[in-house]
């Protein structure tokens, strides 16, 4: 793949390009932008469905993430096995 650097954008006049450059160089305030979950990030179903609620409840009880609860449970299991 190769790219060519150009000072001309087909379909846009020099004034439009200059205005876009000025806007971009001024920066954007993204703090007010609405956030949404990434469609590519999904909870991987490695844990049986009947345990998911118990993990979520324990996480809320312990004020930890579900991942931390699973990590700790696995570590405890491996230490006793």
pLDDT tens-digit readout, 5-40: 777 778 888 888 889 889 989 888 888 888 777 766
The whole-number pLDDT of residue 17 equals 84
pLDDT at 74 over 70: yes
Residue 43 or 78, more confident: 78
CA distances from 13 to 7, 18, 25, 27 (A): 11, 9, 18, 22
Q: Hey, where are the domains in the chain? A: 45-81
Structure tokens, 73: 């449970």
Residue 64 or 36, more confident: 64
The whole-number pLDDT of residue 8 equals 73
What percent of the chain has a predicted confidence (pLDDT) above 90? 31
Residue range 47-65: mean pLDDT, rounded: 90
């Amino acid at each position: 793949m190769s790219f060519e650097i150009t000072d001309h954008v087909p379909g846009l006049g020099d004034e439009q390009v200059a205005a876009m450059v000025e806007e971009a160089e001024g920066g954007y305030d993204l703090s007010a932008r609405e956030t949404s979950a990434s469609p590519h990030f999904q909870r991987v179903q490695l844990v049986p469905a009947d345990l998911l609620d118990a993990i979520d409840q324990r996480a809320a009880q312990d004020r930890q993430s579900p991942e931390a609860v699973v990590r700790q449970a696995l570590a405890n299991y491996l230490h006793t096995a």
